[in-house]
Amino acid sequence: MTSKHRKLAEWVKDMARMCQPDHIVWIDGSEEEKKRLEKEAFASGELIQLNQNKLPGCVYHRTAQNDVARTEHLTFICTSKKSDAGPTNNWMTPRQGYAKARAIFKNSMRGRTMYVIPFSMGPVGSPFSKIGVELTDSIYVVLNMRIMTRVGAEVLQQLGSNGAFTKCLHGKADLDINRRLILHFPEDNTIWSVGSGYGGNVLLGKKCLALRIASTMGQREGWMAEHMLIMGVERPNGQIQYLAAAFPSACGKTNLAMLVPPQGLARKGYKIWTVGDDIAWMRIDSDGNLWAINPETGFFGVAPGTNSKTNPNAVKTVQKNTIFTNVLLKPDKTVWWEEGDGPIPAEGLDWRGYPWRPGQKDENGKIIKGAHPNSRFTAPISQCPTASFRLQHHHGVPISAIIFGGRRARLAPLVYEAYNWEHGVYIGATMASERTAAQMGKVGEVRRDPMAMLPFCGYHMGDYFKHWLHMGKAMKKQPKIFHVNWFRQDQSGKFLWPGYGENLRILEWILARCENTAEASKTPLGYVPTLRSLDMTGLDLSKQNLQELLSIDEEAWKQEMDDHESFFKLFGNRLPKELRSQLAKLRRRFSTWK
């Protein structure tokens, strides 16, 4: 396969001159190609073939031990002006960025093959979609990209002889954390990632293109690239309403996107349609409303905690054609992870490749995990039992509601609705989550994460808020905006809300509010459900607990508002005045409450 695109061919040649691969192979997306690459990776040890009777089409991979998560401190936005990257991003000039990375890339592919992956984020040819080409020396990356995006010949054909594409260069180099850089050059539509083999750093269509670079394109071209799941809720009359939801990493986007309706609501006959679990590209379509596509075609989900209770549809999705990374490998060549299904295996090889037995401790007396806490599965959406029938639709789905959320043990009510779009943008901009034991740092510490985009917004976040306000003004009918908190705890630290499938009760209220058919009380935060407006049939939850879940602690909110004010200082005069005025209004509503 070759390309008639002169600029693409020249760029591939230039990058090859720098990296010096022994071979260059163009990826065509065929089944034959997949078999050939897998065979090569089995032979080299890059991949292990799993038990083909029990897990057909599945393979196993381990990353280097110091390469198991996104490395935000090594992730940079490279713009001519520092202020264009803003206060929430690491910054370098493009000149510095290219020079530093070039020194690492130089000759790094000697003895290796450089794969050229043409890929489309979004259906090929859709006006919502963007094309990228990733060069990589990793077969693991090629096989993941084949699941996560649309790759190969049809993309090249769409690109034609002169189409625009994002230039994505990835090289493993020596996988040394001191020689690792994830660089974004929005002014050149370019991404360079070197020294890592971890998905979030190297599947360049995902966080790097579909969020960091796409957010800058969206600002320029008048659309939105967001860290959001997209799902449809169908009622027995066949009507489907779609919603998009932004939660910080590790707050359950994947679980919510493929939720199973709870027993108590079974009589209502709801059906869930999964459109995406991580990224939404949203545009105002010709009807003046907001429409969304999921630019990806796969899930790159966290394995630990995924089981038949928390996410039965994910469990079904990963039974075939799945890449498992850093989970426990069992002697029968199947896989296991903590809080997964099935009995705890008596033995296996842990994510580092060492012999493992349950309860084994390290030299500090800490239990050794079989799977890394951030171990992953890469699986095609098409295998998900709730996969939406609109995944290939060029205009995606119309969005009725946008939901923000985070982990707040004491503060935020279970759900509340913004008064209007501008107030909703304020709620998104002040979104936060408290650290859990699974993350580095102090447990309970509040991390502000506006729209769940803190690590993913490719430009100045003050301008990003402005863009949100501007988009709202440009819509004929704005989706309503909500905030949810599944993680509220009682005084003893016990979760008050059961979560998972039961969350549909809250989505039901949200969607009814979009049709003006559910009751709510006015509070300083926004509209909160009345007790009787939520359908709790079949759920054993006391009235007192529900009251507590919906309650607002005025003193805690006073402190929270002070915290919003100091957070806003970070953005200086690029904070839109509308957000400052929303804070003043919130303070006023509290001062006249009750």
Q: Give how many residues touch ligand OXD by CB under 6 A.
A: 4
- The closest of 350, 362, 283, 272 to 311, measured between CA atoms, is 272
88, 461 contact by CB (below 8 A) = yes
Nearest to 575 by CA among 561, 591, 564: 564
Identity of the residue, 244 or 575, whose beta carbon is nearer to ligand OXD in the bound complex: 244
Q: Residue 449 binds which entry of Mn ion, ligand OXD, none, with Cβ cut-offs from 5 to 8 Å by kind?
A: none
Q: Which residue's CB is nearer to ligand OXD, number 126 or number 374? A: 374
Q: Binders of ligand OXD among 166-205, rule CB under 6 A? A: 200
Q: Considering beta carbons, is residue 214 or 469 the nearer one to Mn ion?
A: 214
305 binds, among ligand OXD, Mn ion, none (CB under 5 to 8 A by kind): none
**Which structure tokens are listed for 149?**
């995006």
Whichever of 70 and 480 has its CB closer to ligand OXD, that residue is: 70
DSSP character string of 16-81:
HHHH--SEEEE----HHHHHHHHHHHHHHTSSEE--TTTSTT-EEE---TT-SS--GGGEEEE-SS
Find where tokens 């796969």 sit: 298
Residue 226 in contact with ligand OXD, rule: CB under 6 A? no
CB of 365 to Mn ion, least distance (A): 33
Shortest Å distance, C-beta 250 to ligand OXD? 7
Nearest CB to Mn ion, comparing residues 278 and 434: 278
Name which of 278 and 463 has its Cβ closer to Mn ion. 278
Name the token pair of 154. Answer: 């049809």
From Mn ion, ligand OXD, none, interface partner of 29 (C-beta below 5 to 8 A by class): none
Q: From the list Mn ion, ligand OXD, none, pick the one residue 378 interacts with, judged by a Cβ distance below 5 to 8 Å according to partner type.
A: none
**430: its two tokens:** 């002040």
Rounded to a whole number of angstroms, the distance between the first and last alpha carbons of the chain is 71
Q: Which of residues 536-575 bind ligand OXD (CB under 6 A)?
A: none
Site string for ligand OXD, 67-106 (x = CB under 6 A): ---x------------------------------------
Annotated catalytic residue within 58, 78, 251, 457: 251
Using CB atoms, what's the residue nearest to Mn ion?
A: 278
CB of 144 to ligand OXD, least distance (A): 13
**Which one, 88 or 249, has the nearer CB to ligand OXD?**
249
Q: Which does 89 bind (CB under 5 to 8 A by kind): ligand OXD, Mn ion, none?
A: none
Binding region for Mn ion (CB under 5 A): 278
**Antiparallel, parallel or unpaired: β 280-284 and 224-226:** antiparallel
- Rounded CA-CA distance 199/115 in Å is 17
The gap from C-alpha 265 to its chain's centroid, in whole angstroms, comes to 28
Q: How far is the CB of 227 from Mn ion (least distance, A)?
A: 6
CA distance 399 to 242: 5
Residue among 337 and 356 whose Cβ is closer to ligand OXD: 337
Q: Give the nearer residue to ligand OXD in terms of CB position, either 278 or 422.
A: 278
Strands (E), 247-394: 271-276, 280-284, 290-293, 298-302, 323-325, 328-329, 335-336, 348-349, 355-356, 376-380
Query: Which helix or strand (DSSP H or E) is residue 233 part of?
Result: strand 229-234
Beta-bridged to residue 295, according to DSSP, are none
Spell out, one character per residue from 237 to 256, where the chain touches ligand OXD: x when CB under 6 A holds, - when not. ------------x-------
Q: Min. distance of Cβ 278 from ligand OXD in angstroms?
A: 5
Distance of CA 491 to the CA centre of its chain: 32
Please name the helix (run of DSSP H) or strand (run of DSSP E) that holds residue 157, with its range, or none. Answer: helix 153-159
- Told to judge if 457 belongs to the known catalytic residues of this protein, a careful annotator would answer no
Q: Please tell me what DSSP assigns to residue 435.
A: P
Q: Which residues pair with 552 in a beta bridge?
A: none
200 makes contact, choosing from Mn ion, ligand OXD, none, with CB < 5 to 8 Å by partner type, with ligand OXD
Q: Please tell me whether residue 495 adopts helix, strand or coil conformation.
A: strand
For the bound state, the minimum distance from the C-beta of residue 249 to ligand OXD, rounded and expressed in Å, comes to 3
Residue 319 and residue 379: Cα distance in Å, rounded?
Answer: 9
Minimum CB distance to ligand OXD, residue 253 (Å)? 8
For 174-182, the CB contacts below 8 A with 24+ separation are: 174/108, 175/64, 175/67, 177/66, 177/67, 177/71, 177/74, 179/104, 180/67, 180/71, 180/74, 181/74, 181/76, 181/97, 181/100, 181/101, 181/104, 182/70, 182/71, 182/74, 182/75, 182/76, 182/208
Query: Is there a contact between 408 and 560 (Cβ–Cβ < 8 Å)?
Result: no
CB of 50 to Mn ion, least distance (A): 25
Judged by beta carbon, residue 254 or residue 383, the one nearer ligand OXD is 254
* x-marked contacts with ligand OXD along 265-294 as a string, rule CB under 6 A: -------------x----------------
**Minimum distance from CB of 248 to ligand OXD (Å)?**
8
Q: Is 482 helix (H, G, I), strand (E, B) or coil?
A: strand
Q: Are 321 and 330 in contact (CB under 8 A)?
A: no
* Shortest distance (Å) from residue 226 CB to ligand OXD: 12
What angle, 0 to 180 degrees and rounded to 10, lies between the N-to-C axes of helices 461-474 and 421-429? Answer: 160
Residue nearest to ligand OXD as judged by C-beta position = 249
Binding site for ligand OXD (CB under 6 A): 70, 200, 249, 278
Q: What are the residue numbers of the active site?
A: 251
